[in-house]
A and B are shown apart, each in its own frame.
Chain A
Amino acid sequence: MVVSIIAALLMQQVPEENVDWDKEFGVEERVRDPETGEFPVDPYTQSNDNAGAKPFSSDSLAREFGEQEGIRRIADRLVEVSKEDPRISEIFVSHDMVRLKRTLFEQFCYILNAGCDYTGRDMKTAHTDMGLRKADLNALVENLQFVMREQGIAFAAQNRLLSKLAPMSYDLIER
């Protein structure tokens, strides 16, 4: 018995070298766009309506958030902090962080009336099949609050941004 197993093991062929296993198994390689650094996505219609909220009519909140520069810091930090948050880090695995940072920045910038257009997908499509629960949303809200606090944004101003995001919740939650 043992001898036959050893014999079978010895008789195995060594796999050929230089085999493209991705090709053998039909795995398509994703290539980042050299200019944007993002992975390509399926085509969709771009519209500011995809941002999921009407922007503030005044630009006072944009100033409180430090204009585009400050908003970009908040979007970047939110992604970084959430990626390291054991409660929700799994959700970010296999997602394009470069694209997420950009679209999140655009969304916040558009909503805060800081002079951006939102070019990402709508909230429902962007969160399809993520299996998000309210607990995940709460973790994200806590991280956003942490990051805004870190950037010295006044609490009332923090809440005003959240007031635009909170109504989107039911487009994100799937279970």
Chain B
Amino acid sequence: MTVIWKTAATLGALTFSAAAQAEDFAWFEGDKLVLTNGVSTIEGASGGGLASWATIAGRELENGVGISGHATIVELSDYGWQSHGVSVGIANRVELSYARQNFDTRDVGAALRIGKGYKLNQDVYSAKVRLFGDLVYGDPLVPQVSVGVQHKRNLDGPIAALVGAGSDEGTDYTLSATKLFLSHSVLASATVRLTNANQNGLLGFGNASGKGKSVEFEGSLAYQLSRRFVLGAEYRTKPDNLGLGEEDWFDLFAAYAVTDNVTVTGAYVDLGSIATFENQRGTFLSAQIAF
């Protein structure tokens, strides 16, 4: 675990110093093509909304540093979600991000006897490194490929233990491939995630009998209607470590770049069953500002 963080930090520092040595070093210049930094996922890493992509946050390129911030709300049948975070992109190579997730249990909190409106909170610290490839340029059959690590710290350990989770912190590993197929105006992305997070970690990690990590999939397919407007769908599989009938996630989204720096994303999401309360569907709204 620490090894990975040290590697990511060292790589970030190395990339940063290499970029900083370039004579035309660019702070927040915004050189990326609009939307090619993706939007912020609920975990803070750049991607489509629910699914991670191989993109690097911020609008910087090889010779600069970029930054982005976001806030997201999701209104579900029985729950409310709010998250926000910040990402730094270094030389379009390394992405470091932080997100805070706040999950409002509303009336379900009373039913579960943890208190009406009890909020489950979690911190997510992520790092992503682009290995090779470019989202737009180069061989049309070679995607941009990135590896990522997401360390999640659930701030409500006792609740996680109560529902049968084995731990209140966990680390996900991701491998993503993303490409914009210009000939069809289609963006396709696929990610495999090694995880033992229950409901993204908000219900802890693994279970009491020590259930390990499993390989999960997240995919996005999007159509570019214009430079600034994209419509798409996402699917994300999840483990059911707690035996509470946890289900896969699905969404239909529209992302619009209001300006080169501001992107708003609206989506219809179906998060399935959450803590035995079924059919958690609703509206996802997110705003991102990036430089």
A32 interface residue per 8 A CB criterion: no
B168 cross-chain contacts in A, Cβ below 8 A: none
* Assembly CA distance A155 to B185 (angstroms): 9
A50 interface residue per 8 A CB criterion: no
A169 cross-chain contacts in B, Cβ below 8 A: 134, 137-138
Contact B183 A160 (CB under 8 A): yes
CB neighbors of B among A121-154 (8 A): 133-135, 137-138, 141-142, 145
B184 cross-chain contacts in A, Cβ below 8 A: 159
CB neighbors of A among B23-62 (8 A): 26, 29, 31-33, 61-62
Contact B137 A170 (CB under 8 A): yes
* Assembly CA distance A142 to B31 (angstroms): 11
CB neighbors of A among B204-230 (8 A): 224-227
Contact B33 A142 (CB under 8 A): yes
B63 interface residue per 8 A CB criterion: yes
* Assembly CA distance A145 to B227 (angstroms): 8
Known: A134-B31, A138-B33, A142-B33. A159 touches B183 (CB 8 A): yes
B136 interface residue per 8 A CB criterion: yes
B110 interface residue per 8 A CB criterion: no
* Assembly CA distance A114 to B227 (angstroms): 25
Q: Which of B63, B138, B183 contacts A133 (CB 8 A)?
A: B63
Within the complex, the shortest CB–CB distance from B261 to chain A, in Å, comes to 15
* Assembly CA distance A27 to B183 (angstroms): 47
B32 cross-chain contacts in A, Cβ below 8 A: 138
* Assembly CA distance A137 to B226 (angstroms): 19
* Assembly CA distance A105 to B234 (angstroms): 40
Q: How large is the interface on B (under 10, 10 to 19, 20 to 34, 35 or more residues)?
A: 20 to 34
Contact B61 A167 (CB under 8 A): no
* Assembly CA distance A169 to B139 (angstroms): 9
Within the complex, the shortest CB–CB distance from B59 to chain A, in Å, comes to 10
Contact B224 A159 (CB under 8 A): yes
Which residue of chain A has its CB nearest to the CB of B24? Answer: A133
A134 cross-chain contacts in B, Cβ below 8 A: 31, 61-62, 137
* Assembly CA distance A156 to B184 (angstroms): 7
Chain A window 20-61, contacts with chain B (Cβ cutoff 8 Å), 1 for yes, 0 for no: 000000000000000000000000000000000000000000
Known: A138-B31, A145-B227, A155-B227. A167 touches B137 (CB 8 A): yes
B226 cross-chain contacts in A, Cβ below 8 A: 155
Q: Which of A135, A145, A156 contacts B61 (CB 8 A)?
A: A135
A162 interface residue per 8 A CB criterion: yes
* Assembly CA distance A156 to B227 (angstroms): 10
Contact B33 A166 (CB under 8 A): no
Which residue of chain B has its CB nearest to the CB of A137? Answer: B137
B115 interface residue per 8 A CB criterion: no
Contact A156 B185 (CB under 8 A): yes
B18 interface residue per 8 A CB criterion: no
Contact B33 A141 (CB under 8 A): yes
A162 cross-chain contacts in B, Cβ below 8 A: 182
B158 interface residue per 8 A CB criterion: no
Within the complex, the shortest CB–CB distance from A38 to chain B, in Å, comes to 30
Contact B62 A170 (CB under 8 A): no
Contact B225 A155 (CB under 8 A): yes
Within the complex, the shortest CB–CB distance from A56 to chain B, in Å, comes to 10
A163 interface residue per 8 A CB criterion: yes
Within the complex, the shortest CB–CB distance from A100 to chain B, in Å, comes to 21
Contact A138 B61 (CB under 8 A): yes
* Assembly CA distance A135 to B136 (angstroms): 13
A167 cross-chain contacts in B, Cβ below 8 A: 137-140
Contact B140 A166 (CB under 8 A): yes
- For the complex with contacts A137-B137, A138-B61, A167-B138, 16 further pairs of A-B residues with Cβ separation under 8 Å are A133-B62, A133-B63, A135-B26, A135-B31, A135-B61, A142-B33, A155-B225, A159-B182, A159-B185, A160-B182, A160-B183, A163-B140, A163-B183, A166-B182, A167-B139, A169-B138
Point out residues on A near B: beta carbons under 8 Å.
133-135, 137-138, 141-142, 145, 155-156, 159-160, 162-163, 166-167, 169-170
Complex A-B, nearest 5 residue pairs according to Cβ-Cβ distance, in ascending order = A163-B182, A169-B137, A163-B183, A135-B31, A159-B182
